[in-house]
Structures are given as C-alpha cells and as structure tokens.
C-alpha cells in the first residue's frame, strides 16, 4: 500500500520500504539506534488511518511510559499531520483527529488499562519488553480483534526478553513481517560516527545498541559476569534430574504479580539447577499443584521472609496456606539487605550448573537483572530495577541465602549403658 500522494510529506528510507509495503498483519522490527524507527512507525500509522476503509478508523502509538510517548513521537506526529488538510492536533490528549472521523493517539503502557475497551485498526508498540506483562496479551491484543487490526513491535535488543521472544516467533512465522537491521549493514549512521560511539560505549553496549545483539551483556547487570562465566565454562547445558537426590525449591511470592520458583539439587559442592517455573494471576494452590505434577522427590522449600505476614482479608499468612495445601519441610530465608543477598548469589552461581532448556527464562532473568538507571543524573542507582527479571532473581537470591544442607542424624551409640543421639 503506497502513501497517499501529495498528502503525507514523508520520504521513507530504503531500509523501511519493505516494512511499509508489507502484506502481513503483524510485524517485528529490530533496528539499531538512530535508524528512524519512530518516524517510520508514526508515518505508517498515519497512512493506515488515512487509507482505512472502515468507519472512524483508530490507530495508536504505545510507548512504555506516557511521557516517553510524548517526548519521542508527538512532535513527529504533528509534523507529518500538518500537510493533511483538516487534521487537528489535541495537545492535552496527545491525539490527532482527521476530517473523515479517523484518529491517531499516543498512549503509555504504564497506564495500559486506559486502553481497555477501545478498538484499533493499527497499533505500534515501541520497546514492548518494557511493557507490563499483561499489557499486550490481555488488553492491547483484544482491541484489534473485531476489526482485525495490524500490530507492529519495534525496538532495540536488551537481552533475551519478551521482545526477543516476539522476534524469534516472527522470523519463523510466515504470517509475520520480520526484519533485523544492524548499523554496520544499513549505512544510515556513517562509519566515523560508529567508530566514535564504540570508543565511548564499549563493545557490549555498542553491540546491543548498534549491532542489534541479543547476546551482548546488559549494562549494570548484577550477575552478568558470573552468568557469562557459567556459559563459557559449559555450565549452562543439559542438567538431568537425579532421582536419588532431593529437589530443593526456592520461591519469590508475588502479590498480584508473578511468582517464580527455582528447582535445585545438591551433590557435594555442586549445585544443579534443574528447572524453573514462573506464572502470574494464580493462587498458591496452582503452584503446589505444579510441584506435584513434576513428580520430583522434594526436600526443602525455601520461602521469603515475608511469607509469615498475615493478610488482613483472611487473617492467615501465606505460610499457613501453603502448609494447609500440603507443603512441608519449609525453610524461611533470612531477612538480609538486598546487596548482601546479591553478593551471596554471585558466590552461589560460581558452582551452579543450569539446565539450558528448562531454566531458560530464569537464566535470562539472572543475566538481565540490573541496577536501576537514573536517566537525568546519568548514573546507576543503588537499588535494582523492578521489572520482569526481578521475580526470578529474587527467588534465586532466596535460594542462595536460605538453603541449608540437611544435617545427617548420627547413628545411635551405646554409651555407659544408655543410648545417646
């Protein structure tokens, strides 16, 4: 579909022509920084709203935060709408209304519930890995259903997160348009500028931002070095369940959030991390049932220190609920400062073997768990960033500080006519 002649004064870069001319309903663009993703996405949406044959078409550009959407896309949206006769920007609602009843609007995934109940003929999601977990599947996707609207995911890699999963799905599915564009291939940013950026950014950050590497180490990652060593040492591999060893679980219990569970076996100093499970929106009975379905022989279950707090609604603690569901041999992880727990986890990882397949999401959570970054001060804060990686990283920290090897009981010994334990 071409752009309306003489209406939108936009000259697409060559790299974006296949995207604009696509016939697929869904698209995933993994493009390097400064490639022009936002400009292309804004104009693709504006083309859709102007050429849609349905009554009162609606299109949306969604960024992780509403303020971010305004800062990144609003000026472009207004700029390219100026040439459309009768287009009326609304500054207070960040929307542009068109004479034929169409509307282009910006949203933030930080308030994705505001989108619920709307309909869209096309949406663009910028950096979707930074969206809340339920934003796309539970709210945004249904807005496309009745009008069979189109969706585009755009971004730059930040490890193997949800955006990576979308990219992997898109490149294997014929119903998706998919393109990855590196700066070394596009020629959009000249080589002199790339060389200068590499000097300042360092190889890992440069590879992530300009070469679209999902493998590059994450800046500020707490366990980046340790997990890289585990991979280099061959300790991220196939780690089978050993039936003769008990399985220890470690939990991070979310309230209205994800719950994460690690499954580990211990053999001397060797720590075998054999499995990982994470889900959200489910009761404690769901997780206990999941453990039962695994058919593992369980030992300790390490739970966070706040599991003993009683809930106001029921008067019961989650510890009491879990015990009532049949969970036994419970160990409460000590309440330590987060920094102390992170240091313990670093040491713990040094002798861990991870099952590459069953622990994939948990491994990526450890690789990407990082410090919060202050954009204004351009420095890392002392606290961790709370995102999708937090649940797996917290559960692993509880495993590191809470697991205690079982002390074997001594055989009874006869002493002075009496038995001593």
pLDDT given at position 413? 41
CA distances from 118 to 60, 68, 112, 270 (A): 10, 21, 11, 53
DSSP 3-state assignment of 157?
coil
pLDDT given at position 278? 94
Q: Which of 39, 42, 44 is nearest to 2 (CA)?
A: 44
pLDDT given at position 338? 93
pLDDT given at position 159? 80
pLDDT given at position 286? 93
CATH code that applies to domain 14-209: 3.40.50.300
Q: Dig out the tokens for 104 from the structure.
A: 């282009």
CATH code that applies to domain 224-402: 3.30.420.280
Q: Dig out the tokens for 175 from the structure.
A: 């119903």
Full-prediction pTM beyond 0.85? no
The residue ranges of every structural domain in the chain are 14-209, 224-402
Note the Cα 19 to chain centre separation in Å. Answer: 25
User: In sequence order, what are the residues at sequence separation of 6 or more whose Cβ sits closer than 8 angstroms to the Cβ of residue 421?
Assistant: 409, 410, 412
pLDDT given at position 158? 83
Each residue of 374-389: b (16+ CB within 10 Å) or e?
eeeeeeeeeebeebbb
pLDDT given at position 248? 97
Per the DSSP assignment, residues forming a β-bridge with 355 are: 237
| pLDDT tens, the chain, 421 aa long | 444 544 678 899 999 999 999 999 999 999 999 999 999 999 999 999 999 999 999 999 999 999 999 999 999 999 999 888 899 999 999 999 999 999 999 999 999 999 999 999 999 999 998 888 789 999 999 999 999 999 999 999 988 788 988 999 999 999 999 999 999 999 999 999 999 999 999 888 899 999 998 877 677 889 988 998 999 899 999 999 999 999 999 999 976 668 999 999 999 889 999 999 999 888 899 999 999 999 999 999 999 998 988 775 667 889 999 999 999 999 999 999 999 999 999 999 999 999 999 999 999 999 989 887 665 565 677 788 888 899 999 999 999 999 988 765 444 443 333 323 3
Tell me the DSSP string of 56-92: S-EEEEEESSHHHHIIIIIHHHHHHHTTSTT-EEETT
DSSP H helical segments within 233-337, as ranges?
A: 284-294, 318-324
pLDDT given at position 22? 96
Annotate 233-252 with three-state secondary structure. Answer: CCCEECCCCCCCCCEEEEEE
Common-topology check for domains 14-209 and 224-402:
no
Q: Dig out the tokens for 94 from the structure.
A: 């960040």
CB 278 within 8 A of CB 250: no
The Cα–Cα gap between 126 and 24 comes to: 19
pLDDT given at position 405? 84
Per the DSSP assignment, residues forming a β-bridge with 60 are: 105, 123
């Amino acid at each position: 579909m071409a752009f309306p002649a003489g209406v939108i004064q936009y000259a697409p870069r060559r790299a974006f022509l296949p995207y604009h001319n696509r016939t697929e309903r869904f698209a995933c663009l993994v493009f390097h920084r400064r490639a022009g993703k936002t400009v292309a996405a804004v104009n693709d949406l504006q083309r859709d709203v102007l050429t849609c044959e349905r009554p009162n078409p609606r299109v949306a550009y969604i960024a992780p935060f509403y303020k971010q959407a305004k800062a990144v896309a609003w000026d472009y949206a207004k700029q390219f709408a100026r040439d459309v006769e009768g287009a009326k920007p609304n500054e207070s609602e960040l929307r542009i209304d068109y004479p034929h009843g169409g509307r282009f609007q910006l949203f933030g995934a930080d308030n994705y519930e505001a989108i619920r109940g709307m309909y869209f003929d096309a949406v663009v999601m910028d950096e979707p890995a930074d969206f809340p977990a339920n934003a796309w599947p539970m709210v945004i996707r249904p807005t496309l259903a009745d009008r069979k609207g189109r969706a585009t995911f755009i971004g730059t890699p930040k490890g193997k997160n949800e955006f990576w999963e979308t990219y992997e799905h898109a490149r294997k599915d014929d119903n998706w348009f998919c393109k990855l564009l590196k700066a070394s291939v596009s020629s959009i940013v000249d080589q002199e500028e790339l060389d200068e950026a590499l000097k300042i950014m360092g190889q890992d950050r440069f590879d992530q931002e300009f070469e679209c590497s999902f493998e590059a180490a994450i800046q500020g990652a707490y366990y980046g070095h340790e997990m890289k060593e585990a991979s280099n040492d061959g300790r991220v591999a196939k780690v089978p369940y050993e039936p003769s060893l008990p399985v220890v679980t470690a939990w991070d219990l979310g309230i209205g959030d994800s719950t994460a569970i690690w499954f580990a076996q211990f053999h001397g100093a060797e720590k075998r991390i054999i499995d990982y499970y994470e889900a959200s929106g489910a009761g404690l009975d769901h997780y206990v049932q999941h453990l039962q379905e695994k058919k593992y022989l369980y030992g300790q279950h390490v739970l966070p220190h706040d599991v003993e707090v009683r809930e106001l609604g029921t008067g019961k603690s989650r510890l009491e609920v879990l015990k009532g569901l049949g969970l036994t041999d419970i160990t409460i992880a000590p309440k330590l400062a987060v920094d102390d727990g992170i240091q313990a986890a670093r040491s713990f990882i040094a002798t861990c073997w991870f099952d590459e397949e069953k622990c994939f999401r948990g491994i990526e959570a450890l690789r990407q768990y990082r410090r919060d970054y202050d954009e204004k001060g351009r420095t890392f804060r002392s606290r961790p960033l709370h995102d999708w990686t937090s649940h797996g990283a917290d559960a692993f920290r509880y495993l590191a500080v809470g697991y205690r090897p079982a002390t074997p009981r001594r055989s009874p010994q006869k002493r002075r006519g009496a038995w001593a334990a």
